[in-house]
């Protein structure tokens, strides 16, 4: 009895101490001055960062760390939240999570680690800064976990390591400050004048296999190198009309390189989430076909995890600090598997969205509590199976293989006794594909050190390394499958835990034909259908199909590669090979130092036309390029013939109010390659005298007015000048057919150069050039109209085009190039186009051009022109239909832009 009383007093004392401690954790209202979720109120990042620090100082459940700098130089925070005692073994839990994910151990060793480990759950918010629920639910979730002492919260803290990550501090500061700038709450808006990520705005969620942006690299390091969580929960907005929130499980298709446990694990977590809401009588959760989200695409914060055996969760929820409404959508009122518990039309507050989000977080965390061992076990099993698949002959079940079986059956049907579809096909048809050695998955890929642009190959490898892929380096020359490779070449084995990501970066994506019904319109993929990074970057990678052995050493996980530093021999002058993208970087450094640069206008025995010549005065700068950029200038004993002196062009890059993402990517590219540029907005174009300021103006993607004189279909609302800070006034306005087009035409005719990409190529029609849209057909009324989507449809995919290597715009390119094609323009030149100075400089050939993704109706592309040059007065106009600068990933076509930036 005495022992029981002592125990009771001890427990009461613990509860008293816990409650007293909890009261020391500052509430959001005590810090911000309002409750999180209060209508018309947003916290900015500076305020949030201060709150994170306060909570970490007050609570022994929270440790605040920085994971790196943002593009604007802010610290990007991660809050590690768990029971106080778990911090004593935090490094052990991190190493267990990391080790199980890499799966470099036996099952018995794994089970021992599982018994010692704890599941790790990542929850983020704020990636898209206009989706303001995300960062604010993060604040509220931190407070709940740090202050609550209910049984559920204490159990979560006991059993789970939680990583709360702010995905875009810069964007929160920009968006919140803008929204709160007006005193009258009802006048507040989110129509910010600039992108909410320094360069790429909304596309910051399109960077997670490339990791160009600092924020993406910071988060990927934690996700795939340091912590490797079992669950990554990525909060977004907004839910489909007539619902509150869209979440897992997601619609088909899913990518064929995944382990099946990824898909079924998504089902399990999704069940926990929707059940929690239904238990709390919170309607409006939609899933499966109820939303557009699938698990096909790689590159997003929640989709790239799938390729690393991590459960990636996305929710898209409604809500705004400005009160809104759930609209009436009649078909959403019918309960079905996609919408089991419909929500009725009603007013909706910001607070409700915060409450839903916190509840969903708790659902995910409770799932980790109940299934912790399985989460740890499953990530190990998926990784181990990946390693084993990479060590033996394996065939991925692509749609094209099923089609090959069907075609073989149809071809032979009637020639012998065949069973029909109802009873299945003879197994010989299966064996004809899935025993065909030519169709096996590779055991690895070799990137030879002697390829034409090895520095770009290193950038490709670094993109893999940032995603947790292990790379091996050859310590001496070697031979594989009959080919000799030099020392310093690199090997990427598929026998590693993240094999799905390796295959996805090297191999073509085979998107299934996906139509609403036979003969009907296509179902649009969520983002791209094909993206193979090795193709986009123009990397030369040899597929290795047999067992791999050789003089290879593993590069430590997460250690980025740097080019080998080499000194430059003395010479009378030097040549930089234009085949290497980093040659442009060296050339711009030479210009910055005041060194003269010339260009070869014809081929030489050792260098292609367009290569750069520098006399001995440039040796110091070239030595730096050899040390830092991997660009090794070749000495020559005499000045080459056929040289053209180069100058830096004065570059204008078109942008508009609110910011263009395609233009933003090019801003980043130009800075990476040391090109000077100025942004040019519609008002400045309308003022004229453009030749006094620029030699070349770049139009990348949207912003050109429609041919009937209306606004670009990408145009967005703009405020009145007196409503915004004067520093943004120069950004206001739009290009117009009446005022802007004449000024641009005058700029070219007076000797300027305009380069257009994607939708911006509509300028060709405004200029009345002898070209037309190749993707049209005549209707019954004799009028030309775009091809219908049931005949022709190509979402984001990688295609192959032919290139005129003799044209200066294409210097450094090969005879063919892989391009990212995203419902891109294709042209047909008029028969007399050459008489008017218009010439095709890139085109599709006779064969189907698809290399990766999905292309329906490829026959319509036959011989279509993808790029052309036009003489206009004393100047030049260039049109590139494909996305030659796509998200700063398509290094293989960067030269098509860079060649225009000198004069």
Which has the higher per-residue pLDDT, 421 or 561? 561
Neighbouring CB atoms inside 10 A of 484's CB total 11
The pLDDT value given to residue 20: 40
The pLDDT value given to residue 12: 45
Please say whether the dihedral angle defined by the alpha carbons of residues 743, 749, 752 and 757, taken in this order, is positive or negative. positive
Structure tokens at 815: 């005879």
* 569-592 residue pLDDT tens: 888 999 999 999 999 999 999 999
Residue 732: band (very low, low, confident or very high) from pLDDT cuts 50, 70, 90? very high
Res 97 pLDDT > 70: yes
Lowest mean pLDDT among 46-55, 533-542, 773-782, 883-892: 773-782
Neighbouring CB atoms inside 10 A of 65's CB total 13
Res 264 pLDDT > 80: yes
Structure tokens at 223: 């996700």
Mean pLDDT for the stretch of residues 493-506? 98
Mean pLDDT for the stretch of residues 714-742? 92
> For a pLDDT cut of 70, what percent of the chain falls above it?
96
Is residue 386 within 8 Å of 363, Cβ to Cβ? Answer: no
Mean pLDDT for the stretch of residues 213-236? 98
Is residue 814 within 8 Å of 805, Cβ to Cβ? Answer: yes
Residue 418: band (very low, low, confident or very high) from pLDDT cuts 50, 70, 90? low
Mean pLDDT for the stretch of residues 806-813? 97
Q: What is the DSSP letter of 240?
A: P
In angstroms, how far is the first alpha carbon of the chain from the final one? 94
Lowest mean pLDDT among 325-329, 497-501, 717-721: 717-721
Mean pLDDT for the stretch of residues 836-851? 97
Res 422 pLDDT > 80: no
Residue 288: band (very low, low, confident or very high) from pLDDT cuts 50, 70, 90? very high
Res 16 pLDDT > 50: no
Q: Which SS3 state, helix, strand or coil, does residue 558 take?
A: coil
Q: Report helix, strand and coil shares of the chain as percent, to nearest 5.
A: 40, 20, 45
Cα 128-134-140 angle, rounded to 5 deg: 155
* 337-386 residue pLDDT tens: 999 999 999 999 999 999 999 999 999 999 999 999 999 999 999 999 99
The pLDDT value given to residue 411: 87
* 591-635 residue pLDDT tens: 999 999 999 998 788 899 999 999 999 999 999 999 999 999 999
Residue 79: band (very low, low, confident or very high) from pLDDT cuts 50, 70, 90? very high
The pLDDT value given to residue 424: 84
The pLDDT value given to residue 414: 64
According to DSSP, the β-strands at 120-125 and 231-236 are: parallel
778: left (phi over 0), alpha (psi -120 to 50) or beta: beta
Res 782 pLDDT > 90: no
The pLDDT value given to residue 872: 98
Structure tokens at 720: 């009145």
Query: Average pLDDT over the chain, rounded to whole?
Result: 95
* 168-207 residue pLDDT tens: 999 999 999 999 999 999 999 999 999 999 999 999 999 9
Mean pLDDT for the stretch of residues 423-439? 91
The pLDDT value given to residue 421: 56
| Nearest partner of 382 among 115, 101, 95, 107, judged by Cα | 101
The pLDDT value given to residue 709: 74
């Amino acid at each position: 009895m005495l022992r029981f009383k002592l125990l009771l007093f001890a427990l009461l004392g613990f509860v008293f101490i816990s409650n007293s401690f909890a009261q020391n954790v500052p509430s959001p209202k005590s810090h911000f001055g309002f409750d999180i979720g209060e209508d018309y109120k947003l916290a900015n990042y500076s305020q949030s960062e201060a709150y994170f620090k306060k909570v970490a100082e007050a609570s022994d459940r929270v440790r605040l760390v920085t994971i790196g700098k943002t593009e604007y130089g802010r610290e990007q925070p991660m809050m590690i939240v768990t029971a106080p005692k778990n911090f004593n073994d935090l490094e052990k839990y991190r190493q267990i999570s990391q080790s199980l994910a890499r799966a470099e151990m036996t099952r018995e060793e794994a089970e021992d680690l599982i018994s010692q480990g704890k599941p790790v759950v990542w929850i983020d918010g704020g990636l898209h800064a206009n989706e303001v629920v995300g960062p604010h639910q993060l604040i509220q979730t931190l407070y709940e976990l740090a202050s609550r002492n209910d049984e559920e919260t204490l159990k979560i803290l006991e059993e789970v390591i939680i990583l709360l990550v702010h995905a875009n501090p810069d964007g929160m500061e920009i968006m919140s400050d803008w929204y709160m700038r007006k005193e009258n709450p009802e006048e507040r808006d989110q129509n910010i004048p600039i992108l909410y990520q320094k360069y790429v705005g909304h596309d910051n969620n399109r960077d997670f296999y490339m990791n160009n942006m600092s924020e993406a690299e910071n988060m990927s390091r934690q996700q795939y190198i340091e912590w490797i969580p079992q669950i990554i929960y990525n909060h977004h907005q907004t839910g489909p009309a007539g619902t509150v929130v869209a979440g897992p499980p997601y619609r088909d298709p899913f990518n064929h390189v995944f382990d099946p446990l990824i898909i079924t694990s998504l089902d399990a977590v999704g069940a926990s989430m929707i059940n929690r809401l239904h238990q709390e009588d919170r309607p409006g959760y939609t899933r499966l076909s109820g939303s557009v989200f699938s698990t096909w695409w790689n590159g997003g914060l929640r989709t790239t995890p799938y390729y690393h055996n991590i459960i990636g969760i996305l929710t898209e929820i409604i809500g705004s600090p400005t009160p809104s409404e759930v609209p009436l959508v009649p078909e959403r009122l019918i309960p079905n598997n996609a919408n089991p518990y419909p929500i009725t039309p009603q007013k909706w507050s910001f607070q409700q969205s915060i409450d839903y989000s916190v509840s969903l977080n708790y659902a995910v965390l409770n799932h980790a509590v109940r299934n912790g061992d399985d989460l740890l076990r499953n990530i190990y099993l998926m990784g181990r199976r990946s390693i084993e698949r990479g060590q033996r002959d394996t065939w991925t079940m692509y749609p094209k293989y099923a089609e090959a079986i069907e075609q073989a059956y149809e071809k032979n049907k009637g020639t012998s006794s065949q069973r029909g579809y109802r009873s299945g096909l003879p197994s010989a048809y299966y064996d004809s594909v899935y025993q065909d050695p030519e169709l096996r998955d590779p055991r690895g890929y070799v990137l030879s050190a002697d390829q034409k642009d090895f520095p770009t190959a290193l950038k490709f490898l670094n993109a893999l390394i940032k995603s947790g892929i292990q790379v091996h380096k050859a310590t001496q020359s070697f031979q594989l499958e009959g080919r000799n490779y030099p020392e310093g070449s690199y090997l990427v084995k598929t026998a590693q835990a993240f094999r799905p990501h390796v295959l996805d970066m090297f191999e073509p994506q085979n998107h299934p034909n996906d139509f609403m019904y036979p003969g009907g319109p296509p179902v649009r993929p969520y983002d791209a259908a094909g993206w193979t990074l090795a193709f986009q970057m123009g990397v030369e990678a040899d597929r290795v199909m047999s067992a791999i052995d050789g003089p290879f050493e593993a590069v430590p996980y997460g250690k980025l590669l740097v080019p080998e530093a080499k000194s430059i021999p003395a010479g009378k002058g030097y040549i930089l090979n234009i085949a290497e993208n980093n040659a442009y970087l060296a050339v711009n450094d030479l210009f910055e130092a005041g060194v003269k640069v010339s260009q070869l206008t014809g081929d030489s025995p050792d260098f292609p036309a367009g290569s750069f010549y520098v006399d001995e005065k440039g040796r110091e700068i070239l030595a730096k390029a050899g040390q830092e950029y991997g660009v090794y200038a070749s000495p020559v004993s005499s000045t080459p013939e056929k040289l053209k002196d180069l100058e830096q062009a004065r570059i204008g890059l078109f942008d508009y109010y609110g910011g263009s993402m395609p233009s933003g990517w090019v801003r980043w590219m130009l800075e990476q390659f040391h090109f000077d540029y100025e942004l040019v907005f519609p008002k400045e174009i309308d003022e004229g005298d453009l030749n006094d300021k620029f030699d070349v103006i770049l139009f990348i993607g949207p912003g050109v007015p429609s041919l009937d004189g209306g606004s670009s279909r990408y145009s967005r609302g703009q405020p009145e000048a007196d409503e915004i800070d004067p520093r943004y006034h120069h950004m206001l306005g739009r290009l117009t057919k009446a005022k802007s087009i004449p000024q641009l035409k005058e700029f070219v005719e007076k000797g300027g150069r305009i380069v257009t990409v994607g939708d911006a190529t509509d300028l060709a029609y405004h200029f009345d050039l002898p070209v037309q849209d190749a993707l049209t057909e005549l209707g019954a009324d004799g009028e030309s109209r775009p091809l219908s989507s049931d005949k022709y449809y190509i979402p984001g995919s990688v295609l192959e085009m032919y290139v005129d290597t003799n044209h200066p715009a294409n210097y450094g390119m090969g005879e063919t190039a892989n391009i990212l094609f995203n419902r891109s323009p294709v042209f047909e030149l008029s028969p007399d186009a050459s008489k008017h100075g218009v010439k095709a400089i890139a085109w599709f050939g006779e064969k189907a051009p698809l290399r990766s993704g999905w292309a329906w109706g490829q026959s319509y592309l036959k011989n279509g022109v993808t790029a052309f040059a036009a003489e206009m007065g004393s100047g030049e106009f260039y049109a590139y239909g494909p996305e030659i600068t796509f998200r700063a990933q398509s290094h293989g076509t960067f030269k098509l832009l860079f060649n225009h930036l000198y004069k």
